[in-house]
Structures are given as structure tokens and as C-alpha cells.
């Protein structure tokens, strides 16, 4: 799902920030302490809001949900 940076800021303000977003082919992880998305690379860290504009789009990376295994019980007759 793609949203604009200003919509992402609204989600952060409301306490509904996604855990990961993709911007310019890089995945940024939300840092609750600094209220920013960080991309870790070999040299250091890059902040999402330091390199984007309000109308740029980011893609929300949804984590795969685990499907619980169903245990089927055989009916005893």
C-alpha cells in the first residue's frame, strides 16, 4: 500500500506508524525512540525524513501474518 509522506506523518502522530516502509528501493524501520524511520547501512544510519519531500510516496511493508495450524480431531465412533 502506497501513501504520501504527509499521510505517514499523520499515522505517526496518531500512534499508528507502520513498522517498515519502502522508499527509493530501501527499507526503513520505525524507531520508536526518535520517532523517525531509519535505514541501516554499513557506514551508519540514514533518516527517512531527512531525504524526502512531503508529496513523495512510500510503500508500507506489511509483515506476513502467521496462519495458525488447525488441529483436526478425528471423531471416535
- Please tell me the least confidently modeled range out of 1-5, 29-33, 36-40, 64-68: 64-68
Q: Please, are residues 2 and 59 in contact by the beta-carbon 8 Å criterion?
A: yes
Instruction: Tell me which residue of 37, 44, 41 sits closest to 61, measured CA to CA.
Output: 37
* pLDDT, tens only, 6-28: 898 888 888 888 888 888 888 88
For the chain, how long is the longest CA-to-CA vector? 67
- How much is the pTM? 0.68
Cell 524501520 sits on residue: 29
- C-alpha span between 74 and 72 (Å, rounded): 6
* pLDDT, tens only, 25-61: 888 888 766 567 776 654 556 677 777 888 999 999 9
When pLDDT is cut at 50, 70 and 90, the band that residue 71 belongs to is low
Distance of alpha carbon 42 from the chain centroid: 21
Amino acid at each position: 500500500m502506497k501513501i504520501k509522506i504527509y499521510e505517514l506523518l499523520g499515522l505517526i502522530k496518531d500512534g499508528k506508524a507502520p513498522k517498515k516502509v519502502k522508499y527509493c528501493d530501501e527499507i526503513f524501520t520505525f524507531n520508536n525512540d526518535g520517532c523517525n524511520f531509519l535505514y541501516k547501512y554499513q557506514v551508519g544510519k540514514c533518516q527517512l525524513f531527512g531525504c524526502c519531500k512531503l508529496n513523495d510516496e512510500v510503500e508500507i511493508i506489511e509483515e506476513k501474518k502467521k496462519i495458525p495450524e488447525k488441529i483436526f480431531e478425528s471423531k471416535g465412533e
